[in-house]
Amino acid sequence: MPLFKVAIVGAGPAGYFAAQALHNLQNEERTFAIDMIERLPTPWGLVRSGVAPDHPKIKTVSKVFEKIAADPNFRLFANVEIGSDITVAQLQEKYDAVIIATGSSLGKTLGIPGEDLPGSMSAADFVPWYNAHPDFADVQVPLACDTAVVIGAGNVAMDVARMLALEPSELDTTDTAEHAIDALKTSVIRDVYISARRGPEHAAFTSPELRELPKLEHTNVIINKADIDTAIVRAGDAPEKDVKSNLDAMLLIADSQKSEHERTMHFLFQHTPKEILGTDHVEGIVYSTPNGDVTIKCGLVVTAIGYQAAGINGVPYENGKVVNIDGRVKENLYVVGWAKRGPSGVIGTNKSDAAAVMELLVSDLKATKGAGDISELLTSQPVIDQIAWQKINEAEVAAGEPLGKPRLKSVKREEFLKLAGM
Ligand code: NAP
């Protein structure tokens, strides 16, 4: 029976779901040997370094990933970067198919004056900082100011605003990076504004995220009722289900009895960022609004307005995505997930997306190549394989247990190698 060799570049949800889909497409005519290659010492992509630490349920999908990885024909090659030492073209030569599943790691920018000032940063830096991503441990987040502003009306903006507005001891029992918990405990930020450039009826939040806000134990959440009332009128008699659900959730917050906590999260609508103020650091932000310009004094601005894919040599990119038609890139190269369709959808969206691309991949397969695999290309770098990763995983979970955390995350590459016994 032909055994096709497939390399998946990127060990995030899209990569695992592609592996799962290939597994499900095996039959008497074909089986697959899958090599998953990851730049970081750890797999799981955004499930480890993107999902908010106070959303542990979302992370339970990692159990599915580990089940996929337990297949005898699956191998992990973490701590291996594609594009520099090893090229995509080399992989294409050795494997019957190569799948790019590298996501979108770069934050989009506003293109307004002041955006480069210290104190203005992208969620693409802030989120991996609090999630212990090895490349972002040294990000400097100014927390010695009373007000922070988060730009964007999507779930990433919501995660960022919540992380800044939470009472930080609430993070003690989460897998938030220790360096972030320590820093957030020193934070004097008490007001966090989350700003949308359009009205509430256009917000990209999803309603479960809005509905959990009133459950915050130490944070007031303020939505101006008039904003929601006028949005309901604009949305008309038959708004889409998601819009109605969002407006209902926002109305509930606007109508609820005000709490008197020290920390407050404020929602601003129809506020378009115009300029970030300051000379050597952020001192405020100017918005244009239907009622004229509005200035908010603040020391931190986090932009959460979407992502684009970082390039890999040998892969064509356009408009922040890999150039593709339905996931086909060129020759035996394919793409799945955010790198394919842009940064949209929840983790589960990648399952059906990857399954559709794998159907196409399978329909393109011809005779097997049998031309070797990545192990022949690896020279000096220490590779973290599935067994090494399992050691790391178990050590992190064990270290978290006495602290009441799901895991105590390591941050530095050397720490991971040590935990893996390498
Ligand atoms: P998103 O949902 O696309 O939201 C981006 C937001 O940025 C929109 O509100 C957009 O407003 C705004 N924006 C874009 N350009 C702007 C500009 N120049 N100025 C001001 N605002 C601007 O993206 P995301 O929040 O990065 O999330 C990415 C995906 O991950 C989404 O599908 C999200 O649901 C998902 N996610 C899910 C969860 C969860 O399930 N808990 C958590 C995090 C992320 P306009 O609409 O006006 O363009």
Name the pLDDT band for 2 (thresholds 50, 70, 90): confident
Distance CA 148, CA 217 (A): 20
Q: Give me the pLDDT at residue 126, please.
A: 98
Q: Whose CA is nearest to atom 42 of ligand 1?
A: 155
| Measured CA distances, 272 to 195, 247, 402 (Å) | 8, 20, 46
- Structural domains in the chain, CATH included, are 3-105+308-383 (3.40.50.720), 109-305 (3.50.50.60)
Residue with tokens 């000096």: 380
pTM tops 0.85, yes or no: yes
Q: Would the pLDDT of 241 be above 80?
A: yes
Tell me which amino acid residue 56 is: P
Instruction: Tell me, in angstroms, the distance from the centre of ligand 1 to residue 305's CA.
Output: 5
Predicted confidence (pLDDT) per residue in 303-357, tens digit? 999 999 999 999 999 999 999 999 999 999 999 999 999 999 999 999 999 999 9
In this structure, the number of other CB atoms found within 10 A of the CB of residue 109 comes to 14
In this structure, the number of other CB atoms found within 10 A of the CB of residue 346 comes to 10
Instruction: Tell me, in angstroms, the distance from the centre of ligand 1 to residue 419's CA.
Output: 36
User: Is there a contact between 210 and 243 (Cβ–Cβ < 8 Å)?
Assistant: no
Q: Would the pLDDT of 272 be above 80?
A: yes
Name the pLDDT band for 48 (thresholds 50, 70, 90): very high
* Residue of 55, 58, 246, 305 best suited for mutating to test ligand 1, as the one with most atoms within 8 Å of CB: 305
Q: Would the pLDDT of 235 be above 80?
A: yes
Query: What b/e sequence results for 377-389 when a residue is b if at least 16 CB atoms lie within 10 Å of its CB, and e otherwise?
Result: beeeeebbebebb
Instruction: Tell me, in angstroms, the distance from the centre of ligand 1 to residue 42's CA.
Output: 26
Instruction: Tell me, in angstroms, the distance from the centre of ligand 1 to residue 153's CA.
Output: 6
- Residues recorded for the chain: 422
Q: Would the pLDDT of 1 be above 80?
A: no
**CA quadruple 61, 67, 69, 74: dihedral sign:** negative
Predicted confidence (pLDDT) per residue in 372-413, tens digit? 889 888 877 799 999 999 999 999 999 999 999 999 999 999
Q: Whose CA is nearest to atom 39 of ligand 1?
A: 155
Sheet containing 97-100, strands listed edge to edge, beginning at the edge strand earlier in sequence: 74-78, 31-38, 3-9, 97-100, 333-335, 328-330
Distance CA 42, CA 33 (A): 21
Q: Whose CA is nearest to atom 33 of ligand 1?
A: 155
Predicted confidence (pLDDT) per residue in 192-218, tens digit? 999 999 999 999 999 999 999 999 999
3-class SS of residue 352 = helix
Q: Report which ligand 1 atom has the smallest distance to the Cα of 306.
A: 26
Instruction: Tell me, in angstroms, the distance from the centre of ligand 1 to residue 59's CA.
Output: 20
H helix runs in 293-372, sequence order? 338-341, 349-364
Q: Report which ligand 1 atom has the smallest distance to the Cα of 157.
A: 25
Distance CA 399, CA 292 (A): 53
Instruction: Tell me, in angstroms, the distance from the centre of ligand 1 to residue 345's CA.
Output: 10
**3-state SS string for 243-288:** HHHHHHHHHHHHHCCCCCCCEEEEEECCCEEEEEECCCCCCEEEEE
Predicted confidence (pLDDT) per residue in 140-155, tens digit? 999 999 999 999 999 9
* Residue of 156, 163, 193 best suited for mutating to test ligand 1, as the one with most atoms within 8 Å of CB: 156
| Measured CA distances, 220 to 35, 216, 228, 376 (Å) | 48, 8, 18, 57
Q: Give me the pLDDT at residue 370, please.
A: 75
Closest CA to 306 of 161, 106, 159: 106
> What residues flank ligand 1, with Cβ below 6 Å?
55, 110, 151-157, 159, 196-198, 202, 204, 206, 209, 273, 304-307, 343-346
Over residues 84-113, the mean pLDDT reads: 95
